[in-house]
Amino acid sequence: MKEGYFLVTKKEYAKMVQKHSGKSPIVKDTARAFLVGGIICTVGQVLRNFYFSQGFNKELTGTATSITLIFIAATLTALGVFDRIAKYAGAGTLVPITGFSNAVASPAMEFKSEGLVPGSASKIFEVAGPVIVYGTISSVIAGILYMIFVR
C-alpha cells in the first residue's frame, strides 16, 4: 500500500498506538522483584552458611551454593512451577542464577519433542546462549584490562 491512502500518517499512527497501549505497572513490578529476588538471595545466604558450617572452604562454598540454586530452579522448571513464580516476580527470578537455570532448562524441555540431538541439545542455549557468548567475551576483555592496568 502506498503512503497517503490513509488520512493518518505513520508518525501520527505511532502516537495513536502509544496513547491506546497499556503500560507495565513499574512500581508494582519493582516491589515484587525486590521481594522475591531478596528471598532468593536469603535462601542463597542460608545455603552458604550451611556449606560453610560443613567445613567447605570459601571457594567451594560459593560453588556449592550456586549449584544448589541452579538445581532448585531447574527442578521447579521441570515441575512447571517456575514460570508461575516468575510471572509474579519478573526480574526477581530472572536476575539471580535461577533465571539462567530456567533459561537453559525450559528450551531443553520444549524441544524434546524433536529428539535429544536435533531438539533438546541443539536448542538448549536458544535463550541463554547470548548471555554465555557475551559473558565470556566481556570476561576476556576485563581480564586483558586487569593485566594491563592492575598487574
Q: Which is nearer to other proteins, 117 or 148 (CB)?
A: 117
**Of residues 114-143, those binding other proteins (CB under 8 A):** 126-127
Q: Which is nearer to other proteins, 65 or 93 (CB)?
A: 93
> What is the contact mask toward other proteins in residues 73 to 92, using x (rule: CB under 8 A)?
----xx-x-xx-xxx-xx--
CB of 16 to other proteins, least distance (A): 6
CB of 13 to other proteins, least distance (A): 4
The residues, ordered by sequence, that sit 6+ positions from 126 with a Cβ below 8 Å of its Cβ are 107, 111
What's the rounded Cα separation, in Å, for the pair 104 and 70?
Answer: 10
> Which of 10, 135, 37 lies closest to 95, judged by CA?
37
User: Would you count residue 44 as binding other proteins (CB under 8 A)?
Assistant: no
Q: Which is nearer to other proteins, 5 or 149 (CB)?
A: 5
Q: Which is nearer to other proteins, 28 or 143 (CB)?
A: 28
User: Would you count residue 16 as binding other proteins (CB under 8 A)?
Assistant: yes
55 Ramachandran zone, left/alpha/beta (phi>0; psi -120 to 50): left
Q: Which is nearer to other proteins, 31 or 87 (CB)?
A: 87
User: Would you count residue 34 as binding other proteins (CB under 8 A)?
Assistant: no
What's the rounded Cα separation, in Å, for the pair 41 and 16?
Answer: 42
> Which of 99, 83, 96 lies closest to 34, judged by CA?
96
Place of cell 496513547: 19
What's the rounded Cα separation, in Å, for the pair 75 and 47?
Answer: 17
Range in contact with other proteins (rule: CB under 8 A) among 7-15, 47-55, 63-71, 139-147: 7-15
